[in-house]
Structure 1
Amino acid sequence: MTDQPIRTIIVDDEELARRGIELRLAQHSDIAIVRHCANGREAIESVVDDQPDLMFLDIQMPGISGFEVLARLPQESLPMVIFVTAYDRYALDAFEAQAIDYLLKPINDTRFVQALDRVRGYWQQRNALSQREQLMKLLATTQGTGHVDEQTLRQYLHAERQPQYPQILPIRDDAGTVRVDVKSIDWIDAAGDYMCVHADGRTYVLRETMKSLEAVLDPKLFQRVHRSTIVNVSRVRRLRPHTNGEYFLTLDDGQEIKLSRSYRDRVDQLLQRR
């Protein structure tokens, strides 16, 4: 992490939305807010005058949309961008490809911290220029219309980059937020509306869905072995046949987990990895 804070502007026509992002950023000492912008015109002025490193940018704004803001800025002035939108027509593809970061309204705290971790990755690797070039390619497809159609964005995102996955899983508890190293996770199981994340002999409780966790975990390392269980395949030490095509998996710490029939195709994959 750099000694200099990541200078940030927040662009949204809704004051409550700007305030919500501000409150979340207050928990991150390496982020410094330099200006709030209530519309696209103010955003353009701020980028030129303040030269921020990062911009939270609402897509749907009256007058000048988020995409139009980017289209009107010189390439060399573009900061790193986290798009904010209330519409998820193409957000899932953007999350998976991670070519451009998206946050859906209402903002999920876990997603928010993950987006900041990606920003820090760009920041540390001095990779902002690469992102600017990708943004310019995307903007070229808008043809001055101020929006990108879903098919074009899907093609762009899947062609640009292979998925990358966060190395840290932020989990909130009564004392604050715990940053769990993803590689330290042994297995995850569902408990009602919550997920129990087992890592380094501890159990963390996360209010999330199995589907959303699968989306942020590297499938080369984590596999679903039951409708309510995800396993770190590097922890599997033994597969023991059970009944009706089911198996029991034994992990490094002796924990036994059932591999259900629905996931029998994972057996060969698990054996190959071990």
Structure 2
Amino acid sequence: MLRIAICDDQTDQIQKIQAAAETYFLTRNERVEYRTFSDAFAVKATDYLLKPFTQTQFNKSLERALGFIRQRNSAKMIFRLVGGGVRVEEIAQILFLESHGHVMEVFLADGSTLETRKSAQDMKADLDKIAPGQFVSPNKGYLVNLGAVHMIKTDYVEIQGHQIPLGKRKYRDFQEQYFQFMFAG
């Protein structure tokens, strides 16, 4: 699913922008969820359109944003598996990681898991090299893919039905990191 943030301080403009997006996706096989915001600078929008805009200008802007998303999602990570062997996974397929000492359990979008022998600190460093800012720790022993987050509550983060604990004083910081990642340009 593609999540699109529409930012404008005028309700009628938000409706026009959403209509333009719906027109764009009319012939594409893509599920889209829209969210609206009144302060685009706070969420670090990917692109800006000057009003009034045409559908062609809107389409070009959306293509730039989608190109950015595709590039970010195409990165890959190589895991050395516990018990031998290696496995390559796209960053976008990694939902979250849970630490068990020096073994990380990696939860993937297809419902499977894998285990790799690495500390959480080393894993975070490796992920930051490949996908800066995409994986953050909501609580000790966890790293979550911000691109996979479905819901942020005051005490947990939900990713595909998994509730990952959110540290007591981490809610605002985590929420800010989420918005910076999702809407950074």
How high is the TM-score relative to the length of structure 1?
0.34
